[in-house]
């Protein structure tokens, strides 16, 4: 680049020439980009000012097929004309630097809203503005910075991923070279003094150098690439000492051969790379065997209402949805699949997907996408695509719903890993200098062995595998958490806050009617209105009233904590509290009731006698030993005396709490230094669930998938909540024990390496074995804890 060219975009600096040190910039935009990107020394070809950046010639035209709207529509997971979502497979994702770059694509192109990397699956989930940028531009940007997506329509439709055999080929090359170099080294090992061997000794040494070159340039390239990217971003990652050790062996061996000082250590060099790669393959297979990829289909506790051909309604799990099924989506329910709107109008809140709170209006015949929450009355839809629970989980993990927290275990791991690499390099340097004055030939072996054996891989793997495996085991036992870090949050909890209705109570209640006799027509009005609501009491009353057919409801509204209203055949219907229907009779504190008002006339009320969970008393007795317990309810005090007799004396009760009051109550506890878990049904307490340190929604065959919560527990497992909390604490303890084991291993390994008792090849074998042993330890440990704590029944 010439002195008169912009350092960022390469354009000529004409009338404007802004200088920073020795670098020139053609505009303030390019200067700003440089200042942002210089934090990580990341160079890219894209200009934040929305002016076309310099795309390398080999990329131009490569992705023209992405201008075809049909192809783009097949690749996109979501597109409402304003926001689009796509998932890319990125084979070149390798280290934490890759994650940082990909999750900061919005700094390179502001029209990219969020990016979420799945390191294990090597995928990145991109949300972008389809009005301001195109899929082609995003792919060109990613390719230009070294992260070319693997795009295949055939694989996308079949659900198959391209198998990456690159590592296998690297192992094959290293193994072939290692075997041949060892064979050619044998005569010198045994110090054979034979005329023809001596004549061809330089030839064989040169041949060993030739065999070692592809090992360096091809088999070991990933270590050098990772180390370079880390150093470029001012990060000392765990591949830096490995790359340094490989370089030392190769340069020393080359020096010996060039100056005829010996045969060098090409056998140790190629063997080191070979065993490192073999270890990597074993690690990958171990990771796959202990995969944390949760089997959403087996336990994701969300249901949806299916309408049969005879118009009968049936609650089914979302994974049983089939193409062509007719579904009923109520107020506040989530659309679980892509489909066509058939009956009714939809007012869909896609903030769950896009982060934008403006509801989208859809009418009969329109296509609707999974992830939208219905804000109006109920509607019917026909299914176009079968359920993808991984997609719902991906939405659940959206950055929009992440709580800003610091995780002590992750922070400890990151801090140790960074400092550990620096300490390793220092010890290797000091050891090398010491041995250089005692035995120079041994110095190189000692430095290499120290750099390899002390790799902190085992330390870095302990927490992810322990938390990930426990996440999987929790899921199999009906506690589904948003991510593994929630387990660490659960281990810190000291205060538990319970909602009452739908949490402490079951969905089965004894219902009786008190008031003016209702005609069949009026019962149909009531049931038709209830059909739109997802509230626990609405569902109970809906199941209690048997009258059909359903009638069309207009102007449906649901006021949280008060009631529901709407029009049916010109009649105004209100169902809710006495205040909501403007009754002169105040609700007695001894009962829970839904009042009925039809055409401005109060007809009467349905009275509910709650049924509490059978293990409720036992659960609270176990929890009171270690936690402060609070019942926080929006209902009146009708059940207070009954609960006092049922629950321990230490439990505190707060009734008539509106949603905002619940949220403020949780916030006040946190300001007093409490770590709070809120357990509710996800309806009227969404704000409190979001505010709490851990928000747990109790699910009982209804579609209340709330992005505000951190976890969903099957109502049948309510009695095991004390065991889940105990397991979380024990898992954190297990991680700390694995840290100690890893530290002891590294200390012993360096002790032998510094004394020259450990060869580089042995170090290369032990390094991956240590990682695998820690992974097996935490995986078996978490399995043992689950059996010991008994959450499987």
Band the pLDDT of 677: cuts 50, 70, 90: very high
- Judged by average pLDDT, the poorest of 110-119, 209-218, 355-364, 732-741 is 355-364
Band the pLDDT of 669: cuts 50, 70, 90: very high
Report the candidate in 503, 506, 491, 498 with the shortest Cα–Cα distance to residue 651. 498
Residue 222 corresponds to which tokens in the numbers above? 């990933």
Query: What pLDDT is recorded for position 485?
Result: 81
Query: What pLDDT is recorded for position 665?
Result: 93
pLDDT at 15 exceeding the cut of 80: no
CB 595 within 8 A of CB 576: yes
- Helix ranges (H only) for 161-220 are 166-189, 195-199, 201-214
* Mean per-residue pLDDT, 582-602: 79
CB 592 within 8 A of CB 640: no
* Mean per-residue pLDDT, 680-701: 79
What sign results for the dihedral spanned by CA atoms 273, 278, 282, 287?
positive
DSSP letters along 376-389, please? SS-EEEEESS---H
pLDDT at 162 exceeding the cut of 80: no
For residues 116 and 103, give the distance between their C-alpha atoms in angstroms, rounded to a whole number.
6
Strand order in the sheet with 367-368: 313-317, 303-307, 326-329, 379-383, 339-343, 367-368
For residues 143 and 58, give the distance between their C-alpha atoms in angstroms, rounded to a whole number.
10
Band the pLDDT of 291: cuts 50, 70, 90: very low
- Judged by average pLDDT, the poorest of 97-101, 578-582, 640-644 is 97-101
pLDDT at 44 exceeding the cut of 50: no
**Residue found under tokens 């026909």:** 382
Q: Which residues contact 103 (CB under 8 A, 6 or more apart)?
A: 115, 116, 117
Rounded to 5°, the CA angle 580-584-587 comes to: 65
pLDDT in tens, 495-519: 999 988 778 888 777 788 888 888 8
The torsion region of residue 449 among left (phi > 0), alpha (psi -120 to 50) and beta comes to alpha
Distance of CA 689 to the CA centre of its chain: 19
For residues 692 and 698, give the distance between their C-alpha atoms in angstroms, rounded to a whole number.
15
Residue 124 corresponds to which tokens in the numbers above? 């990145």
CB 25 within 8 A of CB 9: no
pLDDT at 752 exceeding the cut of 80: yes
Band the pLDDT of 402: cuts 50, 70, 90: low
Name the pTM for this structure. Answer: 0.61
Q: Are strands 360-362 and 346-349 parallel, antiparallel or unpaired?
A: antiparallel
* Mean per-residue pLDDT, 306-315: 83
Query: What pLDDT is recorded for position 767?
Result: 67
DSSP letter, residue 163: P
For residues 68 and 45, give the distance between their C-alpha atoms in angstroms, rounded to a whole number.
24
Question: What share of the chain has pLDDT > 70, as a percent?
Answer: 75
Cα separations (Å) of 207 from 210, 218, 260, 312, 476? 5, 17, 14, 79, 56
CB 696 within 8 A of CB 709: yes
What stretches of 323-414 adopt beta strand conformation (E)?
326-329, 339-343, 346-349, 360-362, 367-368, 373-374, 379-383
Cα separations (Å) of 75 from 140, 146, 148, 152, 214? 16, 21, 16, 9, 38
Mean pLDDT value across the chain: 77
Cα separations (Å) of 413 from 457, 463, 464, 738? 11, 8, 10, 12
Cα separations (Å) of 355 from 279, 359, 360, 402, 702? 42, 11, 13, 12, 24
Residue 7 corresponds to which tokens in the numbers above? 């350092």
For residues 217 and 222, give the distance between their C-alpha atoms in angstroms, rounded to a whole number.
9
For residues 140 and 402, give the distance between their C-alpha atoms in angstroms, rounded to a whole number.
29
For residues 34 and 44, give the distance between their C-alpha atoms in angstroms, rounded to a whole number.
10
Q: Which residues contact 191 (CB under 8 A, 6 or more apart)?
A: none
**Residue found under tokens 């200088």:** 19
Query: What pLDDT is recorded for position 706?
Result: 60
Query: What pLDDT is recorded for position 30?
Result: 46
CATH says 302-335+338-384 is which class?
Answer: mainly beta
SS3 state of residue 332: coil
Enclosing H/E stretch for 730 = helix 721-754
Q: State the span(s) of the chain assigned CATH 3.40.1110.10.
A: 506-612
The yes or no reply on domain 64-157 and CATH 3.30.70.100 is: yes
For residues 449 and 428, give the distance between their C-alpha atoms in angstroms, rounded to a whole number.
9
Q: State the span(s) of the chain assigned CATH 3.40.50.1000.
A: 477-505+613-724
pLDDT at 629 exceeding the cut of 60: yes
Query: What pLDDT is recorded for position 42?
Result: 38
DSSP letters along 474-526, please? HHHTTEEESSTHHHHHHHH--EEEE-STTTTB-S--EEEEEESPPPHHHHHHH
pLDDT in tens, 328-383: 888 878 788 888 898 888 888 776 666 565 678 888 888 888 778 888 788 999 98
For residues 709 and 697, give the distance between their C-alpha atoms in angstroms, rounded to a whole number.
6
pLDDT at 9 exceeding the cut of 60: no
**Residue found under tokens 């270890």:** 279
User: Which one is predicted more confidently, 722 or 18?
Assistant: 722
CB 116 within 8 A of CB 88: no
Band the pLDDT of 260: cuts 50, 70, 90: confident
pLDDT at 730 exceeding the cut of 90: yes
Question: What share of the chain has pLDDT > 90, as a percent?
Answer: 14
Q: State the span(s) of the chain assigned CATH 3.30.70.100.
A: 64-157
Specify burial of residue 233 (Cβ count, 10 A radius: 0-12, 13-18, 19+): middle
pLDDT at 297 exceeding the cut of 90: no
Query: What pLDDT is recorded for position 609?
Result: 77
For domain 506-612, give its CATH number from 3.40.190.10, 3.40.1110.10, 1.10.357.10, 3.40.50.720: 3.40.1110.10
For residues 540 and 511, give the distance between their C-alpha atoms in angstroms, rounded to a whole number.
8
User: Which one is predicted more confidently, 147 or 669?
Assistant: 669
pLDDT at 32 exceeding the cut of 90: no
What sign results for the dihedral spanned by CA atoms 551, 557, 561, 562?
negative
Q: State the span(s) of the chain assigned CATH 2.70.150.10.
A: 302-335+338-384
Query: What pLDDT is recorded for position 711?
Result: 84
User: Which one is predicted more confidently, 72 or 763?
Assistant: 72
For residues 166 and 176, give the distance between their C-alpha atoms in angstroms, rounded to a whole number.
16
Distance of CA 288 to the CA centre of its chain: 17
Distance of CA 44 to the CA centre of its chain: 27
Band the pLDDT of 387: cuts 50, 70, 90: low
- What's the Rg (C-alpha) of the chain? 32
Superfamily name with CATH number, domain 477-505+613-724:
HAD superfamily/HAD-like (3.40.50.1000)
CB 267 within 8 A of CB 182: yes
Query: What pLDDT is recorded for position 43?
Result: 37
For residues 454 and 462, give the distance between their C-alpha atoms in angstroms, rounded to a whole number.
16
pLDDT at 239 exceeding the cut of 80: no
Query: What pLDDT is recorded for position 652?
Result: 93
* Mean per-residue pLDDT, 723-738: 91
* Mean per-residue pLDDT, 714-736: 90
User: Which one is predicted more confidently, 467 or 219?
Assistant: 219
């Amino acid at each position: 680049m010439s002195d008169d060219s912009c350092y960022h975009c390469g354009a000529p600096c004409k009338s404007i020439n802004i200088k920073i040190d020795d670098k020139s910039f053609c505009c303030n935009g390019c200067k700003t980009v440089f200042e942002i990107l210089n934090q990580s020394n990341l160079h890219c070809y894209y200009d934040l000012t929305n002016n076309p950046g310099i795309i390398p010639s080999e990329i131009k035209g490569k992705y023209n097929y992405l201008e075809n709207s049909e192809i783009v529509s097949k690749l996109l997971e979501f597109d409402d004309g304003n926001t689009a979502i796509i998932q890319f497979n990125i084979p070149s994702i390798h280290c934490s630097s890759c994650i940082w770059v990909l999750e900061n694509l919005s700094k390179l192109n502001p029209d990219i809203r969020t990016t979420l990397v799945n390191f294990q699956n090597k995928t990145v989930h991109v949300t972008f503005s389809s009005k301001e940028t195109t899929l082609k531009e995003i792919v060109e940007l990613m390719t230009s910075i070294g992260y070319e997506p693997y795009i295949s329509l055939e694989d996308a439709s079949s659900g198959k991923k391209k198998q990456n055999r690159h590592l296998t080929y690297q192992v094959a090359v290293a193994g072939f070279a290692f075997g041949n170099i060892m064979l050619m080294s044998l005569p010198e090992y045994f110090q054979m003094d034979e005329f023809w061997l001596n004549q061809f000794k330089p030839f064989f040494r040169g041949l060993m150098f030739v065999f070692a070159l592809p090992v360096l340039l091809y088999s070991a390239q990933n270590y050098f690439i990772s180390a370079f990217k880390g150093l470029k971003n001012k990060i000392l990652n765990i591949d830096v000492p490995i790359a340094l050790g490989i370089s030392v062996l190769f340069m020393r061996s080359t020096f010996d051969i060039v100056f005829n000082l010996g045969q060098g250590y090409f056998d140790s060099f190629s063997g080191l790379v070979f065993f490192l790669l073999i270890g990597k393959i074993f690690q990958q297979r171990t990771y796959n065997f202990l995969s944390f990829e949760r089997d959403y289909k087996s336990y994701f506790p969300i249901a949806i209402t299916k309408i049969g051909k005879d118009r009968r309604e049936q609650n089914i799990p979302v994974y049983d949805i089939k193409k062509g099924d007719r579904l009923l989506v109520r107020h506040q329910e989530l659309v679980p699949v892509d489909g066509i709107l058939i009956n009714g109008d939809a007012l869909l809140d896609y903030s769950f997907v896009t982060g934008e709170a403006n509801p989208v209006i859809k009418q009969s015949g329109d296509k609707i996408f999974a992830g939208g929450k219905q804000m109006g009355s109920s509607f019917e839809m026909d299914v176009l695509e079968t359920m993808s629970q991984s997609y719902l989980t991906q939405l659940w993990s959206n950055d929009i719903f992440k709580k800003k927290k610091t995780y002590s275990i992750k922070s400890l791991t990151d801090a140790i890993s960074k400092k550990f690499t620096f300490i390793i390099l220092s010890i290797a340097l000091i050891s090398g200098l010491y041995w250089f004055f005692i035995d120079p030939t041994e110095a190189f072996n000692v430095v290499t062995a120290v750099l390899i054996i002390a790799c902190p891989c085992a330390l870095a793997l302990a927490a992810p595998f322990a938390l990930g495996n426990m996440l999987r085991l929790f899921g199999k036992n009906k506690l589904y958490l948003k991510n593994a870090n929630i387990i660490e949050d659960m281990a810190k909890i000291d205060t538990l806050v319970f909602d009452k209705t739908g949490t402490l109570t079951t969905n089965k209640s004894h219902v009786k009617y008190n008031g003016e006799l209702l005609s069949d027509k009026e019962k149909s009005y009531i049931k038709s209105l209830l059909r739109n609501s997802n509230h626990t009491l609405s569902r109970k009353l809906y199941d209690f009233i048997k009258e059909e057919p359903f009638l069309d409801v207009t102007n449906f509204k649901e006021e949280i904590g008060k009631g529901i209203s709407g029009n049916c055949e010109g009649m105004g219907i209100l169902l809710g509290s006495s205040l909501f229907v403007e009754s002169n009779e105040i609700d007695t504190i001894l009962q829970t009731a839904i009042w009925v008002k039809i055409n401005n006339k109060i007809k009467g009320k349905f009275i509910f006698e709650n049924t509490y969970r059978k293990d409720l008393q036992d659960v609270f007795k176990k929890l009171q030993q270690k936690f402060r317990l609070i019942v926080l309810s929006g209902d009146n005090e009708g059940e207070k005396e009954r609960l006092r007799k049922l629950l321990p004396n230490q439990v505190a009760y707060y009734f008539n709490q509106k949603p905002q009051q619940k949220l403020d109550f949780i916030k006040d506890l946190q300001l007093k230094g409490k770590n709070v878990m809120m357990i509710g049904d996800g309806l009227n307490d969404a704000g409190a669930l979001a505010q709490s340190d851990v928000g747990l929604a109790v699910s009982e065959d209804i579609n209340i998938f709330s992005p505000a919560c951190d976890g969903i527990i099957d109502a049948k497992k309510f009695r095991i909540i004390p065991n889940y909390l105990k397991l979380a604490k024990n898992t954190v303890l297990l991680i700390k024990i694995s840290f100690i084991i890893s530290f002891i291993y590294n200390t012993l390994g360096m002790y032998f390496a510094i004394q020259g008792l450990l060869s580089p090849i042995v170090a290369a074998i032990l390094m991956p074995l240590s990682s695998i042993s820690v992974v097996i330890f935490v995986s078996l440990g978490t399995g043992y804890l689950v059996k010991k704590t008994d959450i499987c029944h």
